[in-house]
Structure 1
Amino acid sequence: MHPQATTPRPARVPHGANEEGDGIVIGDGPVSLDAYIDFQCPYCRQFTGTSGPLLDGLLADGRITAIYHPMSFLDAMSTNHYSARASAASGCAADSGSFVEYAYALFANQPPEGGPGLTDEELVVLGATAGLTGAFADCVRLGAHRDWPPYVTSRAYQRGVRGTPTVLVEGAPVPPHPSLIRSAVARVLPHMV
């Protein structure tokens, strides 16, 4: 299905999803930060490496609520639909309360574009390194969230997202660079007190 087409909301969305069901909510700070990512995207891996610690700090300080939207934007860039399968597996990690830890593991083990991505079994093994077993493994093997990534991607397109990583602070686009994100959050915070 073309990502601009409307994809119906899946019957099951991951635990911790926002009201729209298209993102995983982490934290409960006053400033909303949306991060649109694709686990096949090299720039997203770079973004996670450079901005991940900042986001973790802003979350720990209670400044932001981060909503991660794992898209399947680059699904055609692998021979086995890795982007969608990795995003679905991240939904399984969210069910177990370990979305961020698993996202870091996925980016640390990102396969190159154009070839096969990790297999489902390799996604399960990767989860075990992040402390995910049992229900997570079953969720990945059964493809419990396979219909979720196309929905997330469709919703992102409806919101005007055309590439990854895309960062929005209170709905306004911000370049995915740590200092620019920090500044955007700081500008919004005084207006929220």
Structure 2
Amino acid sequence: MSKGKDRAAMARQVVAGQKAAERRRAVTLWTSVAVVLVLFVAGLIGYTALSGQDEGKLVTPSAAVDDGTAFAVGSGPVNVDVYEDFMCPACGTFEEATGPALKQLAGEGRITLRFHPVAILDRFSKGTEYSTRAAAASAAAGQAGKFTEFHDALYANRPEENTTGLTDAKMIELAASVGLTDATFVDAVNEGTYKPWAVQATEKFSAKGYSGTPTIVVNGEQITNPTTEAVIEAVKKVAG
């Protein structure tokens, strides 16, 4: 009788052990499933947040033309596109030599002058990404209706390559000197609102096969030697 009781007790222990083992396996399984689900959901939330952030950060100025990449002066029948980097020495030379003539043509209603700020020289601003920041600030100025004034102020104060470029505070100061003191503009510069736009505009520039600045295009035809005479001659040729 005693032996029978012992065997029954042992059997109960075995069954209890098996049940306990099954419970541990179930707990482990569901714990693993829960961990996987948590990681999956966290990853999904993170991806969605990042995607949403990227989309949210890309703000295209409503004042921009030509697929949101340029700011226009005038409304003449001939398009003259100027792709420029605000740190580019050659762009500064082109602006000084040819800018006034192009603006005059735009003012006379003979051309639509379209400025495309791009950022291909960030590597020459000692990590400050001046080209991108300046292009972004010019977009904020364009949105505020002061693109040309701010554009000219940036060139009048163009920093040399291999310097840190102008600070955001200095660009805001230059904007104020041409009558641009709007708080929305100031916030856009300080917060880098249009920096993703500058990156995208530069990507679109590269996608067209362009690589250097200034790049001057008259009604779709790139001017290989963009002197004042060459650009004006190309405009006359298109106008007929």
Whole-Å separation in 2 of the counterparts to 1:163 and 1:71: 10
Q: In structure 2, which of residues 155, 163, 171 is the aligned counterpart of residue 107 of structure 1?
A: 155
Aligned CA RMSD, in angstroms, stands at 1.7
Deviation at 1:11, TM superposition (A): 3.9
The equivalences for 1:82-121 within 5 A come to 82-121=130-169
Contact 1:9–1:151 (Cα < 8 Å) also in 2 = no
Q: In structure 2, which of residues 185, 190, 193 is the aligned counterpart of residue 144 of structure 1?
A: 193
The equivalences for 1:1-193 within 5 A come to 11-79=58-126, 80-134=128-182, 135-174=184-223, 175-190=225-240
Equivalent position amino acid for 1:189 in 2:
A
Whole-Å separation in 1 of the counterparts to 2:178 and 2:231: 27
TM-score normalised per structure 1: 0.90
Bigger shift: residues 18-27 or 64-73: 18-27
SS in 2 for 1:147: helix
Contact 2:136–2:198 (Cα < 8 Å) also in 1 = yes
Structure 1 residue runs of 4 or more that deviate by more than 6 Å after TM superposition: none
Q: Give per-residue Cα distances to partners, 1:62-97, cap 9 Å, x unaligned.
A: 011111110001011102110000000000110111
More relative contact order, 1 or 2 (CA 8 Å, 6+ apart): 1
* Greater C-alpha Rg: 2
- Percent identical residues: 39
Deviation at 1:18, TM superposition (A): 1.3
TM-score normalised per structure 2: 0.73
Query: Residues 189, 10 of structure 1: CA spacing in aligned structure 2 closer, same or farther, 3 A cutoff?
Result: farther
Whole-Å separation in 2 of the counterparts to 1:155 and 1:9: 19
Whole-Å separation in 1 of the counterparts to 2:186 and 2:167: 13
For these two proteins, the number of residue pairs brought into alignment is: 184
